[in-house]
Amino acid sequence: MSTHGQSTVPDEKRVALVLGAIKGIGKGIGLDLVRRGYRVALTYYDWEDELPAMRADFNAFGDRCRIYRTNLRDGEEVAGLIKTVMADSGRLDVLINNIERGGWPVVHGPYTADQWDLELETTLRAKHWVFDRALPHLKAGGDGCVVNISSIAGLVGRSGPASLIFNDGYAAANRAVSSLTESWARVAAPEVRVNEIMLGLVATRHAEGTRGWGLLDSDQKQALLDHTLLKRTGTIDDVVKAVRYIIDDAPFMSGSVIRLDGGYVLGGDKVLPMPPGVL
Protein backbone atom coordinates (compact mmCIF):
# COMPACT_ATOMS: atom_id res chain seq x y z
CA MET A 1 0.00 0.00 0.00
CA SER A 2 1.31 3.49 -0.89
CA THR A 3 1.44 6.66 1.13
CA HIS A 4 1.00 9.52 -1.34
CA GLY A 5 4.36 11.10 -2.15
CA GLN A 6 6.31 8.47 -0.21
CA SER A 7 7.17 5.35 -2.20
CA THR A 8 6.81 2.01 -0.51
CA VAL A 9 7.79 0.20 -3.72
CA PRO A 10 11.45 -0.92 -3.85
CA ASP A 11 13.54 0.89 -6.44
CA GLU A 12 14.20 -2.36 -8.32
CA LYS A 13 10.44 -2.61 -9.01
CA ARG A 14 10.03 1.00 -10.10
CA VAL A 15 10.14 2.18 -13.72
CA ALA A 16 11.33 5.57 -14.97
CA LEU A 17 10.83 7.05 -18.42
CA VAL A 18 13.62 9.47 -19.33
CA LEU A 19 13.17 11.60 -22.44
CA GLY A 20 16.11 12.85 -24.46
CA ALA A 21 18.49 10.31 -22.96
CA ILE A 22 20.90 9.82 -25.83
CA LYS A 23 23.49 12.17 -24.36
CA GLY A 24 24.14 14.92 -21.85
CA ILE A 25 21.72 15.59 -19.02
CA GLY A 26 19.11 13.00 -20.01
CA LYS A 27 21.72 10.29 -20.28
CA GLY A 28 23.22 11.27 -16.94
CA ILE A 29 19.83 11.08 -15.21
CA GLY A 30 19.04 7.73 -16.84
CA LEU A 31 22.35 6.22 -15.76
CA ASP A 32 21.88 7.43 -12.19
CA LEU A 33 18.41 5.89 -12.00
CA VAL A 34 19.47 2.49 -13.33
CA ARG A 35 22.50 2.43 -11.03
CA ARG A 36 20.11 2.95 -8.13
CA GLY A 37 18.04 -0.05 -9.18
CA TYR A 38 15.32 1.42 -11.37
CA ARG A 39 14.25 -0.09 -14.63
CA VAL A 40 14.52 2.69 -17.20
CA ALA A 41 12.91 3.44 -20.54
CA LEU A 42 14.95 5.90 -22.56
CA THR A 43 14.06 7.88 -25.66
CA TYR A 44 16.03 9.49 -28.41
CA TYR A 45 15.22 10.79 -31.89
CA ASP A 46 18.22 12.46 -33.48
CA TRP A 47 21.95 12.70 -32.61
CA GLU A 48 22.37 9.24 -34.16
CA ASP A 49 26.15 9.53 -33.91
CA GLU A 50 25.76 9.27 -30.11
CA LEU A 51 23.67 6.09 -30.30
CA PRO A 52 26.53 3.54 -30.13
CA ALA A 53 27.85 5.14 -26.92
CA MET A 54 24.34 5.30 -25.46
CA ARG A 55 23.75 1.63 -26.20
CA ALA A 56 27.12 0.63 -24.78
CA ASP A 57 26.50 2.52 -21.53
CA PHE A 58 22.99 1.24 -20.92
CA ASN A 59 23.41 -2.28 -22.30
CA ALA A 60 25.84 -2.88 -19.45
CA PHE A 61 22.74 -3.07 -17.21
CA GLY A 62 21.04 -5.74 -19.30
CA ASP A 63 17.27 -5.88 -19.57
CA ARG A 64 16.82 -3.16 -16.93
CA CYS A 65 17.18 -0.62 -19.78
CA ARG A 66 15.15 -0.26 -22.96
CA ILE A 67 15.83 2.32 -25.65
CA TYR A 68 13.09 3.67 -27.91
CA ARG A 69 13.49 5.92 -30.95
CA THR A 70 10.50 8.28 -30.80
CA ASN A 71 9.54 11.54 -32.46
CA LEU A 72 7.99 13.23 -29.43
CA ARG A 73 6.52 15.95 -31.65
CA ASP A 74 4.15 13.33 -33.09
CA GLY A 75 1.19 12.65 -30.82
CA GLU A 76 0.56 9.19 -32.24
CA GLU A 77 4.18 8.18 -31.68
CA VAL A 78 3.97 9.43 -28.10
CA ALA A 79 0.84 7.36 -27.49
CA GLY A 80 2.58 4.35 -29.01
CA LEU A 81 5.65 4.92 -26.82
CA ILE A 82 3.63 4.87 -23.60
CA LYS A 83 1.75 1.74 -24.69
CA THR A 84 5.04 0.01 -25.50
CA VAL A 85 6.67 1.03 -22.22
CA MET A 86 3.69 -0.35 -20.31
CA ALA A 87 3.73 -3.56 -22.32
CA ASP A 88 7.46 -3.99 -21.75
CA SER A 89 7.67 -2.88 -18.12
CA GLY A 90 4.19 -3.20 -16.65
CA ARG A 91 4.21 0.06 -14.70
CA LEU A 92 5.43 3.65 -14.75
CA ASP A 93 6.53 5.53 -11.63
CA VAL A 94 8.78 8.40 -12.73
CA LEU A 95 8.72 10.68 -15.78
CA ILE A 96 11.75 12.83 -16.53
CA ASN A 97 10.29 15.33 -19.00
CA ASN A 98 13.63 16.30 -20.53
CA ILE A 99 12.71 17.40 -24.04
CA GLU A 100 13.51 20.77 -25.60
CA ARG A 101 14.96 22.43 -28.66
CA GLY A 102 16.27 25.88 -29.28
CA GLY A 103 17.85 28.95 -27.87
CA TRP A 104 21.18 30.13 -29.28
CA PRO A 105 20.62 33.19 -31.48
CA VAL A 106 24.37 32.96 -32.09
CA VAL A 107 23.77 29.58 -33.76
CA HIS A 108 20.41 29.96 -35.48
CA GLY A 109 20.38 33.66 -36.30
CA PRO A 110 17.06 35.34 -37.13
CA TYR A 111 13.98 33.16 -36.79
CA THR A 112 12.46 31.28 -39.66
CA ALA A 113 8.94 29.91 -39.30
CA ASP A 114 10.31 26.36 -39.19
CA GLN A 115 12.78 27.16 -36.40
CA TRP A 116 10.11 28.91 -34.33
CA ASP A 117 7.69 25.98 -34.74
CA LEU A 118 10.41 23.44 -33.95
CA GLU A 119 11.31 25.19 -30.69
CA LEU A 120 7.73 25.50 -29.43
CA GLU A 121 6.63 22.05 -30.56
CA THR A 122 9.62 20.35 -28.93
CA THR A 123 10.08 22.42 -25.78
CA LEU A 124 6.38 22.79 -24.95
CA ARG A 125 3.93 20.64 -26.88
CA ALA A 126 5.93 17.41 -26.65
CA LYS A 127 6.11 17.74 -22.87
CA HIS A 128 2.33 18.06 -22.72
CA TRP A 129 1.64 15.04 -24.90
CA VAL A 130 3.99 12.78 -22.95
CA PHE A 131 2.60 13.89 -19.58
CA ASP A 132 -0.99 13.48 -20.76
CA ARG A 133 -0.45 9.94 -22.05
CA ALA A 134 1.67 8.89 -19.07
CA LEU A 135 -0.51 10.33 -16.30
CA PRO A 136 -3.00 7.45 -15.88
CA HIS A 137 -0.13 5.01 -15.43
CA LEU A 138 1.76 7.30 -13.06
CA LYS A 139 -1.40 7.66 -10.98
CA ALA A 140 -1.99 3.91 -10.88
CA GLY A 141 1.12 3.34 -8.76
CA GLY A 142 -0.07 5.81 -6.14
CA ASP A 143 3.28 7.60 -5.67
CA GLY A 144 4.40 8.86 -9.07
CA CYS A 145 6.84 11.66 -9.74
CA VAL A 146 7.26 13.98 -12.72
CA VAL A 147 10.27 16.24 -13.19
CA ASN A 148 9.95 18.88 -15.89
CA ILE A 149 13.29 20.19 -17.12
CA SER A 150 13.16 23.82 -18.24
CA SER A 151 15.43 26.84 -18.57
CA ILE A 152 15.97 30.21 -16.92
CA ALA A 153 15.34 31.55 -20.42
CA GLY A 154 11.74 31.71 -19.20
CA LEU A 155 12.83 34.38 -16.69
CA VAL A 156 15.66 36.29 -18.35
CA GLY A 157 14.79 35.98 -22.04
CA ARG A 158 17.02 37.93 -24.37
CA SER A 159 18.70 40.17 -21.84
CA GLY A 160 22.24 40.92 -20.78
CA PRO A 161 24.96 38.37 -21.56
CA ALA A 162 22.27 35.73 -22.22
CA SER A 163 21.09 37.66 -25.28
CA LEU A 164 23.35 35.41 -27.39
CA ILE A 165 21.94 32.23 -25.83
CA PHE A 166 18.15 32.50 -25.49
CA ASN A 167 15.86 33.07 -28.47
CA ASP A 168 12.46 34.72 -28.02
CA GLY A 169 10.44 31.59 -28.81
CA TYR A 170 12.58 29.39 -26.58
CA ALA A 171 12.21 31.87 -23.72
CA ALA A 172 8.44 32.07 -24.18
CA ALA A 173 8.12 28.29 -24.28
CA ASN A 174 10.11 27.89 -21.06
CA ARG A 175 7.99 30.46 -19.25
CA ALA A 176 4.96 28.42 -20.27
CA VAL A 177 6.51 25.23 -18.85
CA SER A 178 6.20 26.69 -15.36
CA SER A 179 2.50 27.26 -15.95
CA LEU A 180 2.14 23.65 -17.02
CA THR A 181 4.04 22.47 -13.94
CA GLU A 182 1.50 24.17 -11.67
CA SER A 183 -1.52 22.95 -13.65
CA TRP A 184 -0.21 19.39 -13.82
CA ALA A 185 0.54 19.32 -10.09
CA ARG A 186 -3.17 20.03 -9.53
CA VAL A 187 -4.52 17.42 -11.95
CA ALA A 188 -2.00 14.77 -10.86
CA ALA A 189 -2.52 15.11 -7.10
CA PRO A 190 -2.52 13.36 -4.77
CA GLU A 191 -1.03 10.28 -6.41
CA VAL A 192 1.65 12.08 -8.45
CA ARG A 193 4.00 14.93 -7.58
CA VAL A 194 4.98 17.31 -10.40
CA ASN A 195 7.96 19.63 -10.02
CA GLU A 196 10.34 21.53 -12.27
CA ILE A 197 14.06 22.15 -12.47
CA MET A 198 14.85 25.41 -14.25
CA LEU A 199 18.40 25.18 -15.56
CA GLY A 200 20.91 27.93 -16.07
CA LEU A 201 24.16 27.45 -17.97
CA VAL A 202 24.90 23.73 -17.68
CA ALA A 203 27.34 21.57 -19.61
CA THR A 204 25.60 20.17 -22.73
CA ARG A 205 22.72 22.64 -22.14
CA HIS A 206 23.77 26.19 -23.03
CA ALA A 207 27.35 25.80 -21.80
CA GLU A 208 30.30 23.50 -22.46
CA GLY A 209 29.70 20.66 -24.87
CA THR A 210 27.42 22.63 -27.18
CA ARG A 211 28.01 24.18 -30.58
CA GLY A 212 26.81 27.56 -29.34
CA TRP A 213 29.28 27.73 -26.46
CA GLY A 214 32.08 27.12 -28.92
CA LEU A 215 30.94 30.10 -30.99
CA LEU A 216 31.23 32.54 -28.08
CA ASP A 217 34.50 34.39 -27.68
CA SER A 218 36.36 34.52 -24.36
CA ASP A 219 34.88 37.89 -23.37
CA GLN A 220 31.32 36.70 -24.01
CA LYS A 221 31.89 33.57 -21.92
CA GLN A 222 33.45 35.59 -19.13
CA ALA A 223 30.48 37.97 -19.11
CA LEU A 224 28.18 35.01 -18.51
CA LEU A 225 30.35 33.74 -15.67
CA ASP A 226 30.61 37.22 -14.16
CA HIS A 227 26.80 37.33 -14.12
CA THR A 228 26.66 34.00 -12.25
CA LEU A 229 27.07 34.26 -8.48
CA LEU A 230 29.00 30.99 -8.21
CA LYS A 231 31.30 31.98 -11.11
CA ARG A 232 31.01 28.68 -12.92
CA THR A 233 28.75 26.75 -15.22
CA GLY A 234 26.80 23.76 -13.98
CA THR A 235 27.62 20.10 -14.48
CA ILE A 236 25.51 17.12 -15.41
CA ASP A 237 26.10 15.82 -11.89
CA ASP A 238 24.59 19.03 -10.47
CA VAL A 239 21.38 18.25 -12.34
CA VAL A 240 21.42 14.56 -11.46
CA LYS A 241 21.64 15.42 -7.75
CA ALA A 242 18.70 17.83 -8.00
CA VAL A 243 16.58 15.22 -9.78
CA ARG A 244 17.52 12.64 -7.15
CA TYR A 245 16.44 15.06 -4.41
CA ILE A 246 13.02 15.61 -5.98
CA ILE A 247 12.41 11.89 -6.45
CA ASP A 248 13.77 10.63 -3.13
CA ASP A 249 13.79 13.42 -0.58
CA ALA A 250 10.94 15.84 -1.33
CA PRO A 251 7.74 13.86 -0.70
CA PHE A 252 5.82 16.99 0.36
CA MET A 253 6.80 19.11 -2.66
CA SER A 254 4.59 19.47 -5.71
CA GLY A 255 4.03 22.31 -8.15
CA SER A 256 7.41 23.83 -7.27
CA VAL A 257 10.25 25.16 -9.40
CA ILE A 258 13.87 24.70 -8.38
CA ARG A 259 16.12 27.26 -10.05
CA LEU A 260 19.42 25.49 -10.68
CA ASP A 261 21.44 28.31 -12.19
CA GLY A 262 24.38 29.06 -9.88
CA GLY A 263 22.69 32.37 -9.11
CA TYR A 264 22.62 33.66 -12.70
CA VAL A 265 19.17 35.22 -12.31
CA LEU A 266 20.34 37.15 -9.24
CA GLY A 267 23.83 37.95 -10.45
CA GLY A 268 23.25 41.21 -12.27
CA ASP A 269 22.73 43.36 -9.19
CA LYS A 270 25.37 44.03 -6.55
CA VAL A 271 24.72 44.59 -2.87
CA LEU A 272 26.07 48.00 -1.87
CA PRO A 273 27.54 48.62 1.59
CA MET A 274 25.46 50.42 4.16
CA PRO A 275 25.82 54.22 4.08
CA PRO A 276 28.09 55.71 6.75
CA GLY A 277 26.38 56.08 10.09
CA VAL A 278 23.66 53.49 9.39
CA LEU A 279 23.72 50.66 11.92
DSSP helix/strand/coil, 267 = coil
Q: Phi/psi at 263 (nearest 5 deg)?
A: 85, 20
Does 174 score more than 70 pLDDT? yes
Q: Is the pLDDT of residue 2 over 60?
A: no
Is pTM beyond 0.85? Reply is yes
The Cα–Cα gap between 127 and 121 comes to 9
Q: What is the tens place of the pLDDT at every residue in 234-276?
A: 999 999 999 999 999 999 999 999 999 999 999 978 888 888 8
Question: Residue 59 — pLDDT band, cuts 50, 70, 90?
Answer: very high
Q: What is the pLDDT of residue 217?
A: 97
Sheet holding 94-97, edge to edge: 65-69, 39-44, 15-18, 94-97, 144-151, 192-199, 257-260
Report pLDDT digits (tens) over 96-153. Answer: 999 998 888 889 888 899 999 999 999 999 999 999 999 999 999 999 999 999 999 9
- Mean pLDDT estimate for the chain: 94
- CATH (residue range 11-256): 3.40.50.720
Q: 3 to each of 12, 144, 191, 192, 219, how far by Cα in Å?
A: 18, 11, 9, 11, 52
Instruction: Give pLDDT tens digits for 25-57.
Output: 999 999 999 999 999 999 999 888 999 999 999
Nearest to 138 by CA among 190, 100, 177: 190
Q: Is the pLDDT of residue 7 over 90?
A: no
- Distance separating alpha carbons of residues 80 and 83, to the nearest angstrom: 5
Percentage of residues of the chain with pLDDT beyond 90: 85
User: 97-115 burial by CB neighbour count: b if 16+ within 10 A, else e?
Assistant: bbbbbbbbbbbbeeeeeeb
DSSP class of 121:
I
pLDDT at 90 over 50: yes
